Amino acid sequence: MLAILLLGTQQSCTKLDETVYSNLNGDKLFDDPENLIYGFGTAYVNLYALIGHKYGVVGSDAGTDLLVVPQRGGDWYDGGEWIRYHRHEWTPSEGYIAREWNILYYGINTCNRLIFTFEALEGVDTAPAIAELRGLRALYYWWLVDIYGNVPISDKFDVPADFKPTTNSRKEVYDFIESELLEIMPDLSKNNSLEYFGRINYYVAQTILANLYINAEVYTGTPQYDKAEIVIDTVIGGGYSLAGDFFSNFVEDATGSPEYIMGLHFDAIKARQFEVHLFTLHYNLAAKYQFEDNTWNGISAQETFFHLFDADTNDIRRNSILFGFQYMDDGTVVEDPSYEKFDPTDPSYRDPDGAPLNLTPEINMLEPKCLRQAGARVAKYPFIYGSDRYTGNDVPIFRLGEIYLMKAELLLRKGDVGGALEYVNQLRARAGATPLADLNMESLSDEYAREMFAEGKRRTQLIRFGTYGDARWEKPEVSPSYTSIWPVPQAQIDVNPNLTQNPGY
């Protein structure tokens, strides 16, 4: 609206007979239903804070077998939250648990407000816009039911100021999401062009439904794999295709990728939230990439993930991680003058490579003295030279590569190994990897890891496969029924006694 007002001001300098309005209100702006998009942008903007922050899409792969934030002396202890995250020992008072809840409900409340506003407009066809907002609200609720399980359903805006909702069961939330998506399908656009790059359309709604159904046994106790396959086939037939270059899905402008079903177009100036480059890179790599801000030397790939590529080092997805000795563009080695030197009081704590920076796949320990250079780093989102705190890579929320893996999983669960291999090997062929001759749930899980690394999907997939609570490096075995859902934030319970805490917390 500001841009519209500025445009009117500029034109009035030369067209003195033009009618000038002191206010551009909803009645005028929304006479044209095509303008409704300008009214609900704020509901989408909320996604940037959810996805781009260090706790967002990349950070959420911590706590799984893919990524970890080790304590490097005085750095990254952060009150022990990342260590508890890795070991599944989180509490209801964790900041990131409250942050996720708050952002998701902010998005829901914004959708509710806008739906209420659009329903009151007269003489305008608001059905497509309201359907899109309900679809976005369903996406927020899918994340809530997946992460927290039992949460309040709030689908009204005109409620008393002191309204305190009660907790709905996970099954009730599941049913609400399903009914919302099925009801809005006829009013959603099937346009999958650039215009809908980051918006809810018919195929995005089908993809949310696919994720709901494929995880239905986790959410409700009743599998819905047949339903999942039907909607997945609808998405596959929606005109999408695999991008020829795997990494073209993660570059500064991925809007031309035919693989995106829904994504976020981050921008270093206009959409400043994505900070994976600082979160992962060693302190002394900021100069190599000419970053304006210091890098933080935080999140790193776990060694087990690195070794998933041992059998096929030609797999280009291996370039999703940065490892080995690091060099400036002129060929000189990157050095770390503050490397850990020999200490006679603790001879095991030393950097064997000295000053030359060697990002080792091996991480010597989780806490408290992880070496500064230990751990391969996240390079899936190509580094953009000259970035400051925020970088402009695009980030997929849903893409066809994951849909192919979901289709393969459903075929494998039915015993159709050959059919599952067709979809998996299409992804491997794109990556330059050797085709697989056989497939089981364990090897399919490995393929999910290679394809979807650092896209925030691993937790959900491991829970569905029944392996999320398994023991792994620096993490004991934990009961899946306990850690497969997060606690309701304590701050929410403190202000709303109608909420029920999840079991085990």
- State residue 342's pLDDT score: 85
Q: Using CA atoms of 148, 150, 153, 154 in order, give the dihedral in degrees to the nearest 10.
A: -50
Nearest Cα to Cα of residue 228 among 150, 485, 236: 236
Nearest Cα to Cα of residue 151 among 190, 89, 100: 100
3-state SS, residue 352: coil
Residues 6 or more apart in contact with residue 366 via CB below 8 angstroms = 68, 70, 71, 83, 86, 473, 474
CB distance 360 to 370 below 8 Å: no
CA distance from start to end of the chain: 46
Q: What is the DSSP string of 71-137?
A: -BTTBS-GGGHHHHHHHT---TT-HHHHHHHHHHHHHHHHHHHHHHHHHT--SS--HHHHHHHHHHH
Apex 427 CA angle, 426 and 433, nearest 5:
95
- State residue 2's pLDDT score: 33
Residues 6 or more apart in contact with residue 159 via CB below 8 angstroms = none
Apex 389 CA angle, 384 and 394, nearest 5:
50
Distances (CA, A) of 304 to 47, 363, 457: 31, 10, 17
Domain ranges of the chain: 1-30, 33-269+395-495
Q: Using CA atoms of 74, 80, 82, 84 in order, give the dihedral in degrees to the nearest 10.
A: 150
Residue 395 has phi, psi (to 5 degrees) of: -130, 125
Q: Chain-centre distance of CA 320, in angstroms? A: 16
Q: Chain-centre distance of CA 212, in angstroms? A: 16
Nearest Cα to Cα of residue 400 among 191, 224, 239, 188: 239
3-state SS, residue 224: coil
Residue with tokens 């503050």: 338
Q: Structure tokens of 219?
A: 């959410």
Type of residue found at 367: E
- State residue 24's pLDDT score: 56
Q: Structure tokens of 291?
A: 């970053």
CB distance 473 to 303 below 8 Å: yes
Residue with tokens 């990254």: 76
Q: What is the DSSP string of 35-72?
A: GGGGGSHHHHHHHHHHHHSTTSTTGGGBTTTSEE---B
What b/e string do you get for 308-318 counting C-beta neighbours within 10 Å, with b at 16 or more? bbeebeebebb
- The pTM assigned to this predicted structure is 0.93
Tens-binned pLDDT, residue by residue, of the chain (505 aa): 333 333 333 443 444 455 554 555 556 677 787 888 888 889 999 999 999 999 999 999 999 999 999 999 999 999 999 999 999 999 999 999 999 999 999 999 999 999 999 999 988 899 999 999 999 999 999 999 999 999 999 999 988 888 899 999 999 999 999 999 999 999 999 999 888 999 999 999 999 999 999 999 999 999 999 999 999 999 999 999 999 999 999 999 999 999 999 999 999 888 889 999 999 999 999 999 999 999 999 999 999 999 999 999 999 999 999 999 999 999 999 999 999 998 888 888 999 999 999 999 999 999 999 999 999 999 999 999 999 999 999 999 999 999 999 999 999 999 999 999 999 999 999 999 999 999 999 999 999 999 999 999 999 999 999 999 999 999 999 877 789 999 999 999 999 999 999 999 9
Cα–Cα distance, 409 to 229 (Å, whole number): 10
Cα–Cα distance, 118 to 429 (Å, whole number): 47
Residue 446 has phi, psi (to 5 degrees) of: -65, -35
CATH for 33-269+395-495 is 1.25.40.390
Type of residue found at 69: V
- State residue 21's pLDDT score: 47
- State residue 3's pLDDT score: 37
Residues 6 or more apart in contact with residue 354 via CB below 8 angstroms = 339
CB distance 97 to 487 below 8 Å: yes
Three-state secondary structure of 375-432: CEEECCCCCCCCCCCCCCCEEEEEEHHHHHHHHHHHHHHCCCHHHHHHHHHHHHHHCC
